Amino acid sequence: MSNPQNPWDWHEYVGVAHIHSTDSDGSKSVPEIIKVGQELGLDFLLFADHMTLNSLHLGLEGWHEKIFALIGYEIHDLNNINHFLAFDVNEILPGGLTAEDYVKGIKKMGGLGIIAHPDETRDLPQFPPYPWTAWDAEGFDGIEIWNQMSEWMEGINRLNQLKMFLSPRRFLTSPTPRTIKIWDELNKQRKVCGISGVDVHAYPYKFGPFTFIIFPYKVQFQSLRMHLITKEPLSSDNQIAKRQVIDAIRECHLFISNYRRGDARGFLFYAESKNQFAGVGDSISSSDKISFFVRAPRRCKIRLLCDGNIVKEGKGKTLEYSTNHSGNYRVEAYRGKRGWIFSNHIRVFTSPPSSSLCRPV
């Protein structure tokens, strides 16, 4: 008999992923950015500068008082597309590889590899899109299902650019259905985690006589956030804590939120049956009837989806649903028409496999 854990004992850590510093084309140094994260009370930051691990080699990975810095890097191919975030690696792969080769290369080194901003389209000639085209690549661990910079860039045009610069977070709506669909499909084959990325650079940008900093770090860190769920508290030992953070991402023990729509800390999504318990990212057998529970910290529209289809939705702070159908279940929460919380999947499996798949209602 399994030993169901009390979900209330789990630990939640809130942070921000996909950060650029002065190591490549960002505008603050890693220690300065860590300070911004500390001021906002964040628990972790995931740095990914272009083709450099400079700050890792300077020894900046690890705890800085109460905030943990994980330092990876961002790879691109010869055409500057197929951007890929690599963590838990100590060396840079040579430039000029194909996406298939660097996805394989990072896996071979035991790293954690995540596809960045996969479906960018943009309308400004000075900022071309950097989409992912190498879907045949094998061995990536996750996808950025919501990239702040991509969504903002996709919404910008010659007429609205001043408004967009002055109030960048207001325009964030939701992950694109294209990316979410690909992510749900991939999860039918294997676990692929969905993360959020702010892709912060804090560039200066000229508009007529004015120069704006697009998305200062402090503004970006109050938008798309990752919430890691761990069964044990993060260790004070740098190496052990690093393992815990990497494992939580690889195992999909996380949900993402847009802080602009409300602090999502405390959101819960889990499933239980007579003698099993599954948190976000876990699997549970459909041999007994399964009950899903969702609890949001504020009133919102909550949707439970199975393999991309809505199986139940409602307004409020909680949602419950019982089933014995297999499939990959996840939650979306909205405030107004804007996306607020997107969880990773809980997998309901049959043993032996059957065709009893989830049914939309």
- Taking residues 172 to 211 in sequence order and writing x for each that binds Zn ion by CB under 5 A, - otherwise, the string is ---------------------------x------------
> Which is nearer to Zn ion, 199 or 307 (by Cβ)?
199
Q: C-beta of 198: minimal distance to Zn ion in Å?
A: 9
Using CB under 5 A as the binding criterion, the count of chain residues that bind Zn ion stands at 4
The region of 82-90, 168-176, 178-186, 329-337 touching Zn ion under the rule CB under 5 A is 82-90
Q: C-beta of 148: minimal distance to Zn ion in Å?
A: 11
Question: Could you please report the per-residue DSSP string of 272-330?
Answer: E-SS-EEETT-EEETTS-EEEEEEEEEEEEEEEEETTEEEEEEEEEEEEEEE--BEEEE
> Which is nearer to Zn ion, 81 or 164 (by Cβ)?
81
> Which is nearer to Zn ion, 105 or 308 (by Cβ)?
105
Q: C-beta of 21: minimal distance to Zn ion in Å?
A: 11
Q: C-beta of 136: minimal distance to Zn ion in Å?
A: 20
> Which is nearer to Zn ion, 117 or 261 (by Cβ)?
117
The verdict on 49 binding Zn ion (CB under 5 A) reads no
> Which is nearer to Zn ion, 33 or 311 (by Cβ)?
33
Q: C-beta of 296: minimal distance to Zn ion in Å?
A: 30
The verdict on 83 binding Zn ion (CB under 5 A) reads yes
| Residue 339 structure tokens | 């996306």
Q: Rounded to an integer, what distance in angstroms lies between the CA atom of residue 58 and that of residue 56?
A: 5
Query: What is the DSSP secondary structure assignment for residue 254, as one 8-state letter?
Result: E
Q: Which residue is nearest to Zn ion (CB)?
A: 83
Locate all alpha helices (DSSP H) within the chain, ordered by sequence: 30-39, 54-57, 99-108, 148-155, 161-166, 177-189, 217-220, 238-250
> Which is nearer to Zn ion, 73 or 267 (by Cβ)?
73
Query: What is the DSSP secondary structure assignment for residue 15, as one 8-state letter?
Result: E
Count of C-beta atoms within a 10 Å radius of residue 79 = 9
Reference 228, options 210, 207, 244, 208; nearest CA is: 244
Residues 101 to 140: which contact Zn ion by CB under 5 A? 116
| Residue 224 structure tokens | 């798309």
> Which is nearer to Zn ion, 100 or 313 (by Cβ)?
100
The DSSP bridge pattern shows strands 112-115 and 44-50 to be: unpaired
Reference 84, options 70, 104, 69, 68; nearest CA is: 104
The verdict on 77 binding Zn ion (CB under 5 A) reads no
Note the residues at the interface with Zn ion (CB under 5 A). Answer: 74, 83, 116, 199
